[in-house]
Amino acid sequence: MRYAILGRRNIDAGHILENIVYLELIRRGYKVYIGKIGDREVDFVAENKEGFT
Protein backbone atom coordinates (compact mmCIF):
# COMPACT_ATOMS: atom_id res chain seq x y z
CA MET A 1 0.00 0.00 0.00
CA ARG A 2 2.86 2.34 0.80
CA TYR A 3 4.27 2.10 -2.73
CA ALA A 4 0.84 2.63 -4.28
CA ILE A 5 0.45 5.91 -2.41
CA LEU A 6 4.02 7.21 -2.34
CA GLY A 7 5.66 5.48 -5.28
CA ARG A 8 9.10 3.93 -4.95
CA ARG A 9 10.95 6.97 -3.66
CA ASN A 10 13.76 6.49 -1.16
CA ILE A 11 11.75 8.29 1.53
CA ASP A 12 10.67 5.89 4.26
CA ALA A 13 7.25 7.21 5.17
CA GLY A 14 6.07 4.01 6.86
CA HIS A 15 5.73 5.70 10.24
CA ILE A 16 3.56 8.41 8.67
CA LEU A 17 1.24 5.81 7.14
CA GLU A 18 1.07 3.94 10.46
CA ASN A 19 -0.05 7.17 12.15
CA ILE A 20 -2.71 7.74 9.49
CA VAL A 21 -4.07 4.21 9.95
CA TYR A 22 -4.00 4.55 13.74
CA LEU A 23 -5.86 7.86 13.70
CA GLU A 24 -8.45 6.54 11.23
CA LEU A 25 -9.14 3.51 13.43
CA ILE A 26 -9.61 5.80 16.44
CA ARG A 27 -11.87 8.09 14.41
CA ARG A 28 -14.06 5.12 13.47
CA GLY A 29 -14.52 4.20 17.13
CA TYR A 30 -12.08 1.31 17.47
CA LYS A 31 -9.98 0.66 20.55
CA VAL A 32 -6.44 0.25 19.24
CA TYR A 33 -3.71 -1.74 20.96
CA ILE A 34 -0.02 -2.01 20.08
CA GLY A 35 2.75 -4.09 21.52
CA LYS A 36 5.12 -7.02 21.09
CA ILE A 37 4.84 -10.77 20.83
CA GLY A 38 8.21 -12.20 21.68
CA ASP A 39 10.74 -10.17 19.71
CA ARG A 40 8.24 -9.11 17.04
CA GLU A 41 6.37 -5.80 16.97
CA VAL A 42 2.60 -5.79 16.57
CA ASP A 43 1.57 -2.59 14.81
CA PHE A 44 -2.15 -2.66 15.59
CA VAL A 45 -4.87 -4.79 17.07
CA ALA A 46 -8.22 -3.07 16.61
CA GLU A 47 -11.30 -3.88 18.69
CA ASN A 48 -14.82 -2.75 17.86
CA LYS A 49 -18.14 -3.50 19.55
CA GLU A 50 -18.25 -7.05 18.07
CA GLY A 51 -14.72 -7.91 19.24
CA PHE A 52 -11.28 -7.97 17.68
CA THR A 53 -10.70 -7.47 13.96
Which pLDDT belongs to residue 29?
92
**How would you write the chain as a 3-class SS string?**
CHHHHHCCCCCCCHHHHHHHHHHHHHHCCCEEEEEEECCEEEEEEEEECCEEC
Report pTM: 0.64
- The pLDDT score that the predictor gives to residue 4 is 73
| pLDDT tens per residue across span 2-53 | 677 766 666 667 788 888 999 999 999 999 998 888 898 888 889 987 765 5
Show the domain range for 48. Answer: 2-52
What total of structural domains would you count in the chain?
Answer: 1
